[in-house]
Chain A
Amino acid sequence: DAGVIQSPRHEVTEMGQEVTLRCKPISGHNSLFWYRQTMMRGLELLIYFNNNVPIDDSGMPEDRFSAKMPNASFSTLKIQPSEPRDSAVYFCASSLALMMWGVETQYFGPGTRLLVL
């Protein structure tokens, strides 16, 4: 398996522009997570999906952030409009939750480094 795939790996954009980050989870996994990592705040969970349905988006910082999972093999995280404080590394992770409290390991993608100027 190729693992969790994220694109782009690096993104540099100007303040006010729309940014779309993409994630392909591991085939067969039913849970998908979006995280943001910064030096100041560490690794923060933004949102997670179970069977393509958003379960908890309480970590999404503002309405400028939105996430979708139209099918089991693809998810996007969109920032519109972007701001310099959004600069961070964004990780996608997936897991196989066998039941609500199943035993699973999260597998992380390589991340997208976002720089908003």
Chain B
Amino acid sequence: KQEVTQIPAALSVPEGENLVLNCSFTDSAIYNLQWFRQDPGKGLTSLLLIQSSQREQTSGRLNASLDKSSGRSTLYIAASQPGDSATYLCAVRPYTGNQFYFGTGTSLTVIP
């Protein structure tokens, strides 16, 4: 079974700093990988989806990379803002089936 790990579990940075969140998965046979944001008491919001054939995706200040062979993905956030404070989860979808396997998330706090 696919296992997804996110390190660190929590991260606190000063405003304006660039940061990287990490996601690793055990089975490289994935169809795509998705990064989500979850605000306290809310549902998940999709940030970026990377197909297995892609190396990275960018949206505004966010850049997600994928290295399937090593089972890793990173989410880069440039010039962090207090509004970026949330929990970030990555999820991978295998080639078979329609389900996603989620990591446990990284709780990010950006200090003004």
Question: Which A residues contact B (CB, under 8 angstroms)?
Answer: 4, 31, 33, 35, 42-45, 48, 50, 55-56, 91, 93, 95, 97, 100-101, 103, 105-111
Distance between Cα atoms of A108 and B43 in the complex (Å): 6
Give the A-B pair count, Cβ closer than 8 A. Answer: 54
Minimum C-beta distance from A115 to chain B (A): 14
Q: Give B64-76 as 1s and 0s: 1 = Cβ < 8 Å from A's Cβ atoms.
A: 0000000000000
B95 x A101 contact (CB < 8 A): yes
29 chain-A/chain-B pairs, Cβ below 8 angstroms? A31-B98, A35-B102, A42-B102, A42-B103, A42-B104, A43-B102, A43-B105, A44-B102, A45-B99, A45-B101, A45-B102, A48-B99, A55-B98, A56-B97, A91-B43, A93-B44, A95-B98, A103-B32, A103-B49, A105-B34, A105-B49, A106-B44, A106-B46, A106-B91, A108-B36, A108-B44, A109-B43, A111-B42, A111-B43
- Which residues of chain A have C-beta atoms less than 8 A from B51's C-beta? 103
CA distance A44 to B97 in the complex (A): 15
Q: Which residue in chain A gives the minimum CB-CB distance to B45?
A: A108
* Set of chain A residues within 8 Å of B21, measured between Cβ atoms: none
- B interface SS class: strand
With a cutoff of 8 Å between Cβ atoms, the chain B residues found around residue A50 in the complex are 98
B89 within 8 A of A: yes
Interface residues of B (CB under 8 A from A): 31-32, 34, 36, 42-46, 49, 51, 89, 91, 95, 97-105
Question: Measured between C-beta atoms, what is the minimum distance from A75 to chain B in Å?
Answer: 15
Q: Please give the distance in Å from A109's CB to the nearest CB on chain B.
A: 6
Contact of B46 among A44, A45, A101, A107 (CB under 8 A): A107
> A107: which B residues are within 8 A, CB to CB?
46
CB distance from A80 to the nearest CB of B (A): 24
Q: How far is the CA of A52 from the CA of B51 in the complex (A)?
A: 26
Give 10 nearest A-B pairs by CB, closest first: A108-B43, A42-B104, A43-B102, A108-B44, A105-B46, A110-B43, A45-B99, A111-B43, A31-B98, A48-B99
A103 to chain B: closest residue by CB: B51
**Interfacial chain B residues near A101, Cβ < 8 Å:** 31, 95
Beta-carbon nearest neighbor of A41 in chain B: B104
